[in-house]
Structure 1
Amino acid sequence: MAGIFKVFLLLAVMVCISYAQHNESGQQCLCQRVRSRLATKVKEIQIYQATIFCDRVEIVVTDQSGRRFCLNPKLKAIQKLLSNMMAKQNPSSTTSIPASTSAARI
């Protein structure tokens, strides 16, 4: 009887672990928290497209002092800021951001 109990206990633990991993999809993302506005001078902006490890687009900003933080890519103000920066960086090009990491230096 004790052997059956151990098997059921092991199965329960495996189900709990797999359920926890399933709920944490996208937890390998760089940005756990995002800011809604840009308050400091920007040195570099990196844009990470969605992958199998992280199911969302991430915008990582490095300020002049070297601190890194994330911006919310869904906000219109952030989208407008990025559009303006990309237009300044490539005035003759109208292509979109490639699937890999993009970085803009200011």
Structure 2
Amino acid sequence: MSSIMKVFLLLASMVYISKAQLGESGQQCLCQRVRNQIASKSDVKDIQIYPATVFCDTVEIVVTLNSGLRYCLNPKLNAMKRLLANVIKQKTPTTSTTARPTELSSTARSTSTARI
């Protein structure tokens, strides 16, 4: 087999593997499937909100239960829109000293974590 043919086959296999890793949509999102409802609030340990990026164009909401199970929620639901609005409201500095129903912490990667 000629060396040009070997290079072509190697290049073609690299392209095929990279396309397979990106998935069907061409994006690298954490959430492949989403749920439309949340478990009971007493079972929820942590909620992480990942904003849209160049790698994934949707907001992703990842819920961690006390048992360690993790799943994604649909950010288009009204309850999730209210949760996102609360998180955004908490990120903006305010001068009020009223107690808030959730705590918010964020990391350097712009990931917001809300604790219920």
Q: TM (normalized to structure 2)? A: 0.59
The 2-side partners of 1:66 and 1:20 are apart by 29
- Aligned match of 1:6: 6
Contiguous gaps of at least 5 residues in structure 2: 95-105
Contiguous gaps of at least 5 residues in structure 1: none
Matched, 1:67 2:69: yes
Contact 1:40 1:63 in 2 (8 A): no
Alpha-carbon RMSD? 3.2
Deviation at 1:58, TM superposition (A): 0.8
Residue aligned with 1:14, SS: helix
Q: TM (normalized to structure 1)? A: 0.63
- Aligned match of 2:27: 26
AA matched with 1:72? N
- Aligned match of 1:104: 114
The 2-side partners of 1:44 and 1:15 are apart by 38
The 1-side partners of 2:70 and 2:22 are apart by 29
After the TM superposition, which of the residue ranges 56-65 and 15-24 deviates more from structure 2?
15-24
Q: Percent same amino acid among aligned pairs?
A: 61
- Aligned match of 1:35: 35
Say how many residue pairs are matched. 96
